[in-house]
Amino acid sequence: MYVSFTLSVSMNFKCFDGLCLLQLAIGVEGGFSSGPKYEIESEYAVVLLPDFDTKVPLSRFVFHICQIIIENEGVQRQEIIEEGINVWEGEARVNTRHLNLEQMDNGKRIPPWGWKCEEEGCDLKENLWLNLTDGAIMCGRSQFIQEGVMSKGRNHARLHFDLTGYPLVVKLGTITKDDADVFSYDEDESVRDPNLKKHLIHFGIDMDKTEKTEKSTLEMELDLNQK
């Protein structure tokens, strides 16, 4: 795998009575850009150890085995998604501490489609998160999905937590009969909710009848990591 990238840093020195300060510009024109500015190329090779000699003749059988191994990456990806392993830290999701989450009996029922961010003035209809305490539907944060492209989001779900303290949210469109993209704000990580089916049915969502229409945060991270 080959990785190349370029950093553009704008520096400005200011001196006062012999003391010099370095000003580093980040995220502004002429400064360091925090977005992904790299290209990744992957190359497969059969090598002979211990010298990593790549001049290894391949029979048709060995070549076929190599193809099977390469294609098996799709299986590995699925295993990562099912285990909820963090792409960058290599840690699997843990169960949330909010197994007995108190939910408001406000009579709210969530339709199977047609969702929209409920924050006043926000018209986003994707990247929406359902708060499992009060049933509020708010948009998530914007994040990179590919070079120069970011998902839509204004972080209203986080702002709702800051105002209410209601911690557990699930991403609408990622709910299947087995799992969903669940995030806990006060635990500051993606989590598993063993009682998710109960928490969702409280707002009229039956996991056995839902259809996955959006990628989870983990799937988006995997896509970005493979570009």
Domains along the chain? 128-226 (3.30.40.10)
Q: pLDDT by residue for the chain (227 residues), tens digit each?
A: 444 444 444 444 444 444 444 445 544 444 444 444 455 566 777 888 888 777 778 788 888 887 777 666 555 555 555 555 444 444 578 899 999 999 999 999 999 899 999 999 999 999 999 999 999 999 999 876 666 677 789 999 999 999 999 999 999 999 999 889 999 999 999 999 999 999 999 999 999 999 899 888 877 776 666 55
DSSP codes of every residue in 91-131: ---EE-S-TT-----S-----SS-----STT----SSEEEE
Stated pTM of the model: 0.62
In the DSSP assignment, the letter for residue 171 is: E
25 sits in which H/E element: strand 19-25
* Best CA proximity match to 131, nearest among 97, 156, 96: 156
